[in-house]
Chain A
Amino acid sequence: MNKTRRQTLIPLLLILSPVLILGISLFIGRYPQPIWMNPSLLGSDEIAQRLVLNLRLPRILTAMLLGMSLSAAGGVMQMLFRNPLVEPGFLGVSQGAGFGAALCIVFLSKSPLAIEGFATLFAVLGLLFSYFFARKMRYGGWLLRLVLAGIAVSAFFSAGLGILKYLADPNSQLQEIVFWLLGGLYSITWKSLLYVAPVVLVGMVVIYLMRWRLNLLALEDETAFSLGVSVGRERTLLLGASVAVTAVVISVAGIVGWVGLIIPHIARRITGANAANFIPVSISLGAIFGVLCDDLARTLMPGEIPLGIITSLLGAVIFIFLMVKPNFKVKA
């Protein structure tokens, strides 16, 4: 294949495959029978119409945004922290969101919107605390300090979460907390999609446009500086975009692990390390992975399987598979 044809074909493939998967997924579920709904049913069955439009479509779109966000954010953070084993929620974001959600469930309300608001708030607080402590710390370089602060803040929130679980009413609240923590998109409506989509789209645009720049930000500070990069400002912008998309996505979906770790790895296996190439592939693969995992969550059993269980299970299996393949190298 010549170069120019490849240059038009690959982007097209990256955009079309998630859209195709999305289209197919609209007819996957447990109505009227498990797994597949005949598309012609949409013409005659009003329940099918309402189901597809009001439940499945917003949910699948959210699954797509979730996969895109976590994969892009994971890729960005792995570059910024020069560490291929970093996950997007690690700077206190995931644990903060979990704590916020539990706080809301125990003391306030079980309404999805309230939980989403609290989860977002505490996800952002988690990051701010990490950032604040990293600034105060007198040890090591900036990146190391951020990582250490992130670990401490995560531990703090997870202890808080433990207390909340202990306090929660085991008959109603505790189940709710546990289910939220396992992650899932069962409560998604158009409203929550409208809450997530603007943040995710802005974040994706920032990350996509600055993708080549990420390579420079992964260099040592002095080298990046000598190449004319405003290291602090650009790093903050990309970190901000990544944390924002991660926080809103976690706030509606709960803790969905492994996506942000494994998808950038696979993308790099396909395109090589250059972020200009692997970020778009990561976003596209993430969208596909998000939708497929949610399809499994909705379809495999009569009840819902929490999405986080499926992503962790698949993610871990893929990760081990990649690790034992002889040409796979992890460099930390």
Chain B
Amino acid sequence: MSERSLLTINELTFAYDSTRASALNKVSFEIDAGTITTILGPNGAGKTTLLHLLLGLRKPSGGSILLEDLPLNQYSRRDLSQWMGLVPQSEHVSFEYTVLEYVLLGRAPYLSPLELPGEADVEIARDAMRKVGIASLEHRPIPELSGGELQLVLLARALAQQPRILLLDEPTSHLDLANRNVTLRILDALRKEGTTILFTTHDPEAALIVADNIVLMNAGKVLAAGSFSETFTSEKLTETYGVPVEVVRTDGIQVVKSSGRLS
């Protein structure tokens, strides 16, 4: 861990509606550059809300977010969009874009409102597509893609943004095992290139595979935050999910056990 964090989240509080309970309650943790941090918790824990606050899409009702020691609201929209890319959980595409056209939308942070993407942008978009292994899909219409392929297109679009921080909202939740592992392997490769990655998931296995650090969340609160070894324990996971979860070692490999066949 470096001494200065890239992102510092301090006592962050947020409520969608003043009459309702807060969706986030005094959330604090830090993110170091070049690491993969996983926000882990059950559905409705406030993970997506937290991502929206980090993006600047929603304003906190209390607490602060510091990006390189500067409050987030001191950055312009454009600066922030060059800093952080978002891979949404899913996306409904109403029109028949080709994959390349769609990935090129990721160049928006670098273009003025009246500018069209140029040759250099196309090269960057192609590069992003190569990184996630979809270069061959360039001319395919988006609506014809499988769920796994679409996920990779959304990832490539965020990479075309050349972000230093990549935020992903449940990147593996609707993927099959093979596609999940492909996505996680790409995240691992991106980290090795120096990208800081933050992703939410309700799946402990996704965290087990790649996370350096984990933030365990439940009902808008952080139950634990820290390195993988500190946080990924049977006791803490059980507390997070409210059902028995066991971290066991078989043949020297850590495995999550949360269910058996009903008998």
Interface, chain A (partner B; CB < 8 A): 79, 82-84, 209-210, 212-213, 215-216, 218-223, 225-230, 234, 268, 272-274, 276, 329, 331-332
Q: Once the chains bind, are A228 and B78 in contact (CB under 8 Å)?
A: yes
A interface: dominant SS:
loop
Q: CB-CB < 8 A to B86: which residues of A?
A: 222-223, 226
Interface, chain B (partner A; CB < 8 A): 52, 55-57, 77-78, 80-82, 84-86, 88, 91-92, 94-98, 101, 105-106, 108-109, 111, 113-117, 143, 161, 167
User: Quick one: closest A residue to B154, CB to CB?
Assistant: A223
Q: Once the chains bind, are A273 and B95 in contact (CB under 8 Å)?
A: yes
Q: CB-CB < 8 A to A210: which residues of B?
A: 113-114
Q: Once the chains bind, are B94 and A209 in contact (CB under 8 Å)?
A: no
Partner of B94 from A221, A229, A276, A332 at Cβ < 8 Å = A332
Given contacts A212-B116, A219-B105, contact A226 B81 (CB under 8 A): yes
Given contacts A219-B105, A222-B52, A234-B113, contact A329 B95 (CB under 8 A): no
Q: Once the chains bind, are B95 and A228 in contact (CB under 8 Å)?
A: no
Q: How far is the CA of A83 from the CA of B116 in the complex (A)?
A: 23
User: Quick one: closest B residue to A224, CB to CB?
Assistant: B108
Q: CB-CB < 8 A to A227: which residues of B?
A: 81, 105-106, 108-109, 161
Q: Once the chains bind, are B97 and A274 in contact (CB under 8 Å)?
A: yes
User: Quick one: closest B residue to A226, CB to CB?
Assistant: B86
B91, B96, B167 interface centre (most CB from chain A within 10 Å): B96
Q: Once the chains bind, are B80 and A228 in contact (CB under 8 Å)?
A: yes
A226, A228, A276 interface centre (most CB from chain B within 10 Å): A226
Q: How far is the CA of A216 from the CA of B111 in the complex (A)?
A: 12
Q: Once the chains bind, are B98 and A230 in contact (CB under 8 Å)?
A: no
Given contacts A213-B113, A216-B108, contact A83 B161 (CB under 8 A): no
Q: How far is the CA of A315 from the CA of B116 in the complex (A)?
A: 32
Chosen A-B contacts, 29 in total, with CB atoms closer than 8 Å, are A79-B95, A84-B95, A212-B116, A212-B117, A215-B97, A215-B101, A219-B105, A220-B92, A222-B86, A225-B57, A226-B55, A226-B85, A226-B86, A227-B81, A227-B109, A227-B161, A228-B80, A228-B82, A234-B113, A268-B95, A272-B98, A272-B101, A273-B96, A273-B101, A274-B101, A276-B116, A329-B96, A331-B94, A331-B143
